[in-house]
Amino acid sequence: MSGILELKNLGFVYSQGTPFEKRAVSDVSLSINKGELIGIIGHTGSGKSTLVQMLNGLIKPTEGEVLLNGKNIWDEPKKIRSVRFKVGMVFQYPEYQLFEETVYKDIAFGAANMGKSGDELDQAVKSAAEFAGIKPELLQKSPFDLSGGEKRRAAIAGVIAMNPEVLILDEPTAGLDPMGREVLLSRIVHYHKEKNNTVLLVSHSMEDVARFADRIMVLDDSRLVMFGKTKEVFSVPDKLEKIGLRVPQVTKLTQLLRQRGYDIPEGILTVDEAFSEITAFLKKEGKIW
């Protein structure tokens, strides 16, 4: 089965041919299936943002190709705009890009540019606002009167309104407090499940990625060093730590317990899982009843 997005030997070098030449992505090949939620992790400078910006043609690869539904997105450079409608990108700190008079107009902007109008546009805006958890009464407000978390969700709604086949979010929870993070992530997961759309989530928060992603891409120093099921990736915490990433505390804990010789499964990602595995183990050992 060919995926919705396929990357073939994808590479990118900034300022190629100048003294400032810098490689950001090297030789990434992979395939993403329709309906997957993919987490992308890696420390700053590992190439995550550059990689995702190539997926909707914002920057043109210096090597290799990006196939969207089997077709190289740069086959017809003049049609690259349509790729950007199909692969929606939410940048870091999207709330700084709000500019319209009302939240409604801001959410409608992208969809209107795609040529939507009238009822269709209205539908798209309202449904996007709902997915993003923006209450109807907020739609006529100025986007600048919203709270930080609401602003960010309004900006995300603007991309959702374009009904992209693939939604890419670059660090959507950065700078939000724990509650804002929780609300935003649950909206994204809800959107993903309802629409069965492909979602790529670039995140620094291992806990978030661990909870939601089907598969995880790990980037280090411009290379794809791991791409696998979430549990598989987190069952090698040493490897992740070596490249400057941190695993959830409970994952670390269960690894330490295994090292002490206790029979607790690897790849535990959440407090709930850890709690049930450890209580089961303690019961077996006769330490609790």
Partner 1 sequence: MDFISIQNVFFSYADPSENPNAQNAVDGVSLDIKKGEFVAVIGHNGCGKSTLAKHLNAMLLPDSGKVYVDGDDTSDENNAYTIREKVGLVLQNPDNQLVASVVEEDVAFGPENLGVEPAEIRQRVDDALKAVGMYEYRLKAPHKLSGGQKQRVAIAGVLAIQPQCIALDEPTAMLDPSGRDEVMKTLIKLNREMGMTVVLITHYMEEAVKADRVVVMDSGKILTQGTPREVFSQVELLKKHRLDVPQASELAFRLRGSGVNIQSIPLTAEECAEMLGEVLV
Residues 6+ apart with CB under 8 A from 188: 156, 169, 172, 199, 201, 212
* Residue number with CB closer to partner 1 (9 or 147): 147
Amino acid at 26: S
How far apart, in whole angstroms, are the C-alpha atoms of residue 1 and residue 22? Answer: 35
Q: For residues 1 and 155, give the distance between their C-alpha atoms in angstroms, rounded to a whole number.
A: 34
Q: Which is nearer to partner 1, 144 or 275 (CB)?
A: 275
Q: Which residues bind partner 1 (CB under 8 A)?
A: 43-45, 147-149, 174-180, 204, 206-207, 244-246, 248-250, 252-253, 256-257, 260, 262, 271, 274-275, 278-279, 282, 285, 287-289
CB of 206: closest distance to partner 1 in angstroms? 8
The answer for 57, left when phi > 0, alpha when psi is -120 to 50, beta otherwise, is left
Shortest CB 178 distance to partner 1, Å: 5
Cα→Cα distances 127→118, 130, 141, 208, Å = 14, 5, 17, 25
Q: What amino acid occupies position 40?
A: I
Query: Which is nearer to partner 1, 140 or 249 (by Cβ)?
Result: 249
> In the complex, what is the shortest distance from the CB of residue 45 to partner 1, in angstroms, rounded to a whole number?
6
CB of 46 to partner 1, least distance (A): 9
Closer Cβ to partner 1, 124 or 219, answer by number: 219
Based on CB atoms, which residue is closest to partner 1, 78 or 287? Answer: 287
